[in-house]
C-alpha cells in the first residue's frame, strides 16, 4: 500500500519539452512511472522520450486517460499551469517549480478549496512510492519499499533521512516532499491523515523547518487523531529572526512566531520525539518498529 | 526584499497617500540644505533595514540648525546593529493628536492576504498583537476579488477609528491593498498613520517588503535590489545568485537544499561550534558555482573553517568535486581548512576525484561537521 501514488497513477508532465522536464521525464520513466503524456502549449504532436505531447492538459487527459500531473513549468507561468491542471479535475498535481510568486499561489490556493484535486508543492521534490511510481525529482535509487511514511518540507533533507533509514534496512511506503513555500497545497496534516489511513504504514518520519505554524497544527492533529507513531525533526534552530533561509517559507518572524523551539515543544507535547540530528530520526523510527 | 522608507514613501505618494515633505541626504551639508527647505521641527531618519531605529539612536528630531547639524553628524556614518548609515531622510515634523496602524500582509495559515487596522499605532505592533490581540481588527481578502470597499470600511470601524477619520483611513487602506497587489508586496504597512491637529491623516512611516520571487515582473523594484544590499557580502551573494545569510560564528557552511543547509548549521551548533553563514548552492550546481560558493565563504573574515555538505539528487557529486578542486588549486595556500562530505548522485565518483591534499573528506554528515568544528577551534586559537 501507499498514499497518493502507485502503479496505477497515469502522469502528464507539464513543461515536458524544457530541460528539466525532459531530463526528469526520462528519470521517471526509468523508475517505472507511467508517464503517459506531456502538455506544452504550441508543442502538440511532438514526442519526448517516446511520450506524446499535447497542447493542453485537457487534451492530454482526454487522449491518454491521465489522472495526475507533474509541473516543471518556469515560475512566471507555473501558477497558470497549476490552474490548468486543477481545472482538468485530476486526482493529483505535483508542482516542482521553485519561485512561484506568493500572490499567484494565494489565487491557486483559493481555487484549490473549490476542487477535489490534491496539490503537492510547489517548490518541492515530489512524491515517491518506492518500486511503483515517482512523480518529481527525487533520486529513486536511495529509496526502498517498506513500512515507513515520510513527509518533509525539504528535498535534500528528505534524501538524508531516507538514506539513514535505508542504511538501517528500513524501507518506505511513500515519501512526500510538501515544499518550502509559504503557501503550499498538501500540508503536514493532509499527509499525516493519508499515512494514518494506510494500513501498511507502521511509523512516520516528519521533517519540518522554521516558518509558519504548520508543524504546530500537525502536532495538535497527531495528539488528537493518530495512532501511528511519528518521529520528528525540525531544521533551523540556529536561524536568526527576519532572515529568509533559502526557502521562501523558512523565516522566523520578528515577533518570534515560526521558531524551531515552538515547533519542537508542540511536537514533544503531542508525544512526538524530535531528533537532534537527522541520523537520530532513523534511530527513533527503528525504536518504533 | 525590503524597500527603504524613502523608496516606499515615494511609491505611497505617487499613489495618493499623504506623506510628510521630505528630502534624502547623504552628508551633513545635505541635511542642512534639506532642513532649511523643509523647516523646523524636522525628523532626521537613518535609511537602513533595521527594526527599532528610533530606540537605537537612528532617528532624531531637530528644532534648530544646531540640532540638525548634531543629529546629522551623529547619525551619518553610525553603526546601527551592524549596518553603516550612509543616508538619512530629512522629514517635516508632524504635529499629531493620535496614531494608528494600517497594514496588509499574507496570512500563511489561511493562504490569503489579511488587512489589519489598529488605533494602537506608533508602537511595536507585534507587541500589541501579543499582549492585546483584540486591539488589531482583521479582515481576510479573497485574492481573486481584492479588498472590497465595504471590507475596508468594516475593518476600520471594527478597529474603533473615530467616525471623523474613518473615511480617510479606509481610503488609505484601499490604496495600500492596491499597492500590495500591484507591487507583489509580501507586507505593506504604515505605522503610524498620524492624525494631525488639523484633522488630516498622514503616513508618517512606510514599510514595504517585496516578494523576491516576483521581481521578474517588477522591473522598477528589481532595479532597487542593488540598493537593498547593505554590505559587500550581501552584494556578492546577490551577484552570484546564492541564498546567503551571514551569521556571527566562525564555521562556514556550504550545502545544497535549504532544509539540509539549515540542518547543517544546527549540527555545527549542536557539536559546540558557531555557524558563520547559511549558503545554499541550489539544485544542479556545476563546478563554477561551487567555486563561487567557496569564494563567497572565504570572503567572510570571520570564517576559520569550512564544511561542504552535498546530498546529490539533481546535483552531481563529481561536478561538486571538480568545482572544489578547481577553486582550491588556484590558491597557493588554502585560506582555511575545508571538510567535504558528498552523498547521493555520483558521490563515489566525486570522492575519487577530490584532491585530498587540499581538502579533508568525511563519509557522514555528523563526522564532517564535528571535524569542521574542531578545525574552527584550532584555527581560532
Judge: A137–B262 Cβ closer than 8 Å, yes or no: no
**Complex-level ipTM beyond the 0.90 threshold:** yes
Cβ <8 Å between B259 and A212: no
A117 annotated as a binding-site residue: no
Phi-psi category of residue A99: left, alpha or beta, with phi > 0 → left and psi -120 to 50 → alpha: left
CB B159 within 8 A of CB B132: no
Which of A45-49, A96-100, B348-352, B371-375 is predicted with the least confidence, judged by mean pLDDT? B348-352
Q: Look at residues A126, A156, A153, A131 and name the one whose alpha carbon lies nearest to residue A141.
A: A131
CATH for B84: 3.30.1490.20
Q: Are residues B156 and B198 in the same domain?
A: yes
- For residues B360 and B240, state if they share a domain: yes
- Looking at the structure, tell me whether residues B88 and B101 fall in a common domain: no
**B261, B329: one domain:** yes
| Closest CB from A75, A106, A240 relative to B213 | A75
Q: Regarding the domain delimited by A139-288, which CATH topology (the fold level of the hierarchy) does it fall under?
A: Rossmann fold (3.40.50)
Domain ranges within chain A, ordered by starting residue: 1-123, 139-288
Q: What is the pLDDT of residues B266-279, one digit of tens each?
A: 999 999 999 999 99
Which architecture does CATH list for A1-123?
Answer: 3-Layer(aba) Sandwich (3.40)
- pLDDT tens digit string along B217-254? 999 999 887 777 777 888 899 889 899 999 999 999 99
Least CB-CB distance to B314: which of A100, A137, A237? Answer: A137
Three-state SS at A14: strand
B189 annotated active-site: yes
Question: Does residue B296 fall inside a structural domain?
Answer: yes
Map chain B to HEC letters.
CECCHHHHHHHHHHCCCCCCCEEEECCHHHHHHHHHHHCCCEEEEECCCCCCCCCCCCEEEECCHHHHHHHHHHHCCCEECCEECCCEEEEECCCEEEEEEEEEEEECCCCEEEEEEECCCCCCHHHHHHHCHHHEEEEECCCCCCCCHHHHHHHHHHCCCCHHHHHHHHHHHHHHHHHHHHCCEEEEEEEEEEEECCCCEEECCCEEEECHHHHHHCHHHHCCHHHHCCCHHHHHHHHHCCEEEECCCCEEEEECCHHHHHHHHHHHHHCCCCECEEEECCCCCCHHHHHHHHHHHHCCCCCCEEEEEEEECCCCHHHHHHHHHHHHHCCCCCCCCEEEEEEECCHHHHHHHCCCCCCEECCCHHHHHHHHHHHHHHHHC
User: Among A161-165, A177-181, A250-254, which stretch is predicted with the lowest mean pLDDT?
Assistant: A250-254
Query: What CATH number does residue B116 fall under?
Result: 3.30.470.20
- Region A234-260: mean pLDDT is 85
Interface of B with A in 177-196 (CB under 8 A): 181, 184, 186
More confident residue, A204 or B320: A204
Q: How many domains are contained in chain B?
A: 3
* Residue A287 pLDDT > 70: yes
Residue B267, domain CATH: 3.40.50.261
Scanning every residue of chain B, which has its alpha carbon at the shortest distance from the alpha carbon of A254? B126
Q: B143, B263, B269, B310: best mutation site toward chain A, by most A Cβ within 10 Å?
A: B263
Same fold, A1-123 and A139-288: yes
- Is B196 a domain residue? yes
pLDDT mean over A234-263: 86
B170 occurs within a structural domain: yes
* C-beta atoms of A253 and B126 within 8 A: yes
How confident is the model over B97-112, as a mean pLDDT? Answer: 94
pLDDT of residue A12: 98
Chain A residues in contact with B214 by the CB 8 A cut-off are 101-103
Say yes or no to pLDDT of B48 above 90: no
With CB atoms and an 8 Å threshold, state whether A209 touches B258: yes
**Residue numbers in A near B142 (CB within 8 A):** 110
| pTM across the whole model | 0.94
B271 with B365, same domain: the answer is yes
Same domain, B79 and B200: no
Do residues B253 and B370 share a domain?
yes
Q: Indicate whether B47 and B82 sit together in one domain.
A: yes
Q: Among B53, B103, B108, pick the best mutation site for testing chain A contact (most A Cβ within 10 A).
A: B108
pLDDT value of residue A254:
64
Instruction: Identify whether residues B66 and B107 lie together within a single domain.
Output: no
**Which range marks the domain in which residue B248 is found?**
232-380
If asked whether residues B88 and B100 sit together in one domain, one would say no
Per-residue pLDDT at B286: 81
Domain membership of residue B174 (yes or no) is: yes
Please tell me whether residues B238 and B372 are part of one structural domain: yes
Task: Look at residue B333 and tell me whether its pLDDT is greater than 90.
Answer: no
Q: Give B327→chain A minimum CA distance, Å.
A: 24
**Per-residue pLDDT tens over the stretch A148-166:** 999 999 989 999 999 999 9
B239 and B373 together in one domain? yes
Contact B365 A105 (CB under 8 A): no
Q: Which three cell numbers stand for residue B9?
A: 514613501
What is the model's pLDDT at position B52? Answer: 76
The confidence score (pLDDT) of residue B192 equals 94
Nine-digit cell string for B41? 521641527
Neighbours of A259 (CB within 10 A): 18
Tens of pLDDT, residues A211-223: 999 999 999 999 9
Between the CA atoms of A135, A138, A142 and A146, what dihedral angle is there, to the nearest 10 degrees? -40
Q: Summarize the confidence of residues A30-40 as an average pLDDT.
A: 97
B257 touches chain A (CB under 8 A): yes
How many angstroms separate the CA atoms of A151 and A236, rounded? 17
Helices (H) and strands (E) in chain A, counts: 9, 13
Q: Which of A277, A243, A241, A238 is nearest to B249 (CA)?
A: A238
Contacts (Cβ under 8 Å, ≥6 apart) of A13: A21, A24, A25, A28, A35, A37, A38, A39, A51, A69, A70, A72
- For residue A208, name the pLDDT band (cuts at 50, 70, 90): very high
> Is B229 considered catalytic here?
no
Q: Mean of the pLDDT values across residues B51-58?
A: 83
B50 touches chain A (CB under 8 A): no
Boundary-marking domain end, from B31, B60, B92: B92
Amino acid at each position: 500500500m501507499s498514499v497518493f501514488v502507485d502503479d496505477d497513477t497515469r502522469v502528464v508532465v507539464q513543461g515536458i519539452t524544457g530541460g528539466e522536464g525532459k531530463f526528469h521525464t526520462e528519470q521517471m520513466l526509468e523508475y517505472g512511472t507511467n508517464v503517459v503524456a506531456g502538455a506544452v502549449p504550441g508543442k502538440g504532436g511532438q514526442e519526448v522520450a517516446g511520450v506524446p505531447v499535447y497542447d493542453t492538459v485537457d487534451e492530454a487527459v482526454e487522449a491518454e486517460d491521465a489522472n495526475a500531473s507533474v509541473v516543471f513549468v518556469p515560475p512566471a507561468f507555473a501558477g497558470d499551469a497549476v490552474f490548468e491542471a486543477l481545472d482538468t479535475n485530476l486526482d493529483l498535481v505535483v508542482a516542482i517549480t521553485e519561485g512561484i510568486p506568493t500572490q499567484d499561489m494565494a489565487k491557486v490556493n483559493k481555487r484549490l478549496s473549490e476542487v477535489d484535486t490534491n496539490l503537492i508543492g510547489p517548490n518541492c521534490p515530489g512524491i515517491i512510492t518506492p518500486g511503483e511510481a515517482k512523480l518529481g525529482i527525487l533520486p529513486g535509487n536511495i529509496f526502498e519499499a517498506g513500512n515507513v511514511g515520510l513527509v518533509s518540507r525539504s528535498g535534500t533533507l528528505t534524501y538524508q533521512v531516507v538514506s539513514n533509514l535505508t542504511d538501517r534496512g528500513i524501507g518506505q511506503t511513500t515519501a512526500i516532499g510538501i515544499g518550502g513555500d509559504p503557501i503550499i497545497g498538501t500540508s503536514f496534516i493532509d499527509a499525516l491523515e493519508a499515512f494514518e489511513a494506510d494500513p501498511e504504514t507502521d511509523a512516520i518520519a516528519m521533517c519540518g523547518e522554521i516558518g509558519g505554524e504548520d508543524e504546530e497544527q500537525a502536532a495538535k492533529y497527531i495528539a488528537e487523531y493518530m495512532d501511528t507513531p511519528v518521529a520528528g525533526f525540525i531544521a533551523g534552530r540556529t536561524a536568526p529572526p527576519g532572515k529568509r533561509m533559502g526557502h521562501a517559507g523558512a523565516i522566523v518572524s520578528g515577533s518570534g512566531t515560526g521558531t524551531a523551539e515552538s515547533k519542537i515543544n508542540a511536537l514533544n507535547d503531542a508525544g512526538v520525539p524530535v531528533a537532534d540530528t537527522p541520523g537520530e530520526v532513523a534511530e527513533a523510527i527503528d525504536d518504533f518498529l | 526584499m525590503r524597500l527603504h522608507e524613502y523608496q516606499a514613501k515615494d511609491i505611497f505618494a505617487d499613489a495618493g497617500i499623504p506623506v510628510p515633505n521630505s528630502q534624502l541626504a547623504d552628508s551633513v551639508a545635505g541635511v542642512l540644505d534639506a532642513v532649511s527647505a523643509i523647516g523646523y521641527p524636522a525628523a532626521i531618519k537613518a535609511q537602513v533595514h533595521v527594526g527599532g531605529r528610533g530606540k537605537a539612536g537612528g532617528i532624531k528630531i531637530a528644532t534648530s540648525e544646531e540640532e540638525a547639524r548634531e543629529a546629522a553628524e551623529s547619525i551619518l556614518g553610525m553603526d546601527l546593529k551592524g549596518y553603516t548609515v550612509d543616508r538619512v531622510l530629512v522629514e517635516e515634523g508632524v504635529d499629531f493628536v493620535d496614531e494608528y496602524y494600517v497594514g496588509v500582509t499574507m496570512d500563511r495559515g489561511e493562504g490569503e492576504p489579511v488587512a489589519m487596522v489598529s488605533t494602537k499605532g506608533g508602537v511595536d505592533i507585534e507587541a500589541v498583537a501579543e499582549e492585546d490581540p483584540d486591539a488589531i481588527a482583521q479582515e481576510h481578502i479573497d485574492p481573486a476579488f481584492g479588498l472590497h470597499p465595504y471590507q475596508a470600511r468594516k475593518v476600520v470601524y471594527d478597529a474603533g477609528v473615530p467616525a471623523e477619520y474613518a473615511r480617510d483611513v479606509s481610503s488609505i487602506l484601499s490604496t495600500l491593498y492596491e499597492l500590495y497587489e500591484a507591487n507583489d508586496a509580501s507586507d505593506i504597512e504604515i505605522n503610524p498613520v498620524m492624525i494631525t491637529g488639523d484633522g488630516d491623516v498622514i503616513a508618517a512611516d512606510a514599510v514595504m517588503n517585496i516578494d523576491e520571487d516576483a521581481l521578474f515582473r517588477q522591473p522598477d523594484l528589481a532595479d532597487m535590489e542593488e540598493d537593498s544590499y547593505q554590505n559587500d557580502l550581501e552584494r556578492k551573494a546577490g551577484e552570484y545568485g546564492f541564498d546567503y545569510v551571514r551569521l556571527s560564528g566562525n564555521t562556514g557552511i556550504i550545502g545544497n537544499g535549504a532544509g539540509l543547509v539549515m540542518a547543517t548549521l544546527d549540527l555545527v551548533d549542536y557539536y559546540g561550534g558557531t555557524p558563520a553563514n547559511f549558503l545554499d548552492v541550489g539544485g544542479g550546481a556545476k563546478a563554477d558555482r561551487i567555486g563561487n560558493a567557496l569564494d563567497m565563504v572565504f570572503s567572510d573574515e570571520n570564517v576559520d573553517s569550512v564544511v561542504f555538505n552535498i546530498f546529490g539528487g539533481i546535483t552531481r557529486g563529481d561536478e561538486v568535486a571538480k568545482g572544489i578542486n578547481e577553486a582550491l588549486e588556484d590558491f597557493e595556500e588554502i585560506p582555511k581548512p575545508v571538510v567535504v562530505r558528498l552523498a547521493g548522485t555520483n558521490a563515489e565518483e566525486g570522492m575519487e576525484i577530490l584532491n585530498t591534499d587540499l581538502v579533508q573528506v568525511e563519509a557522514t554528515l555528523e563526522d564532517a561537521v564535528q571535524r569542521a568544528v574542531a578545525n574552527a577551534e584550532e584555527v581560532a586559537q
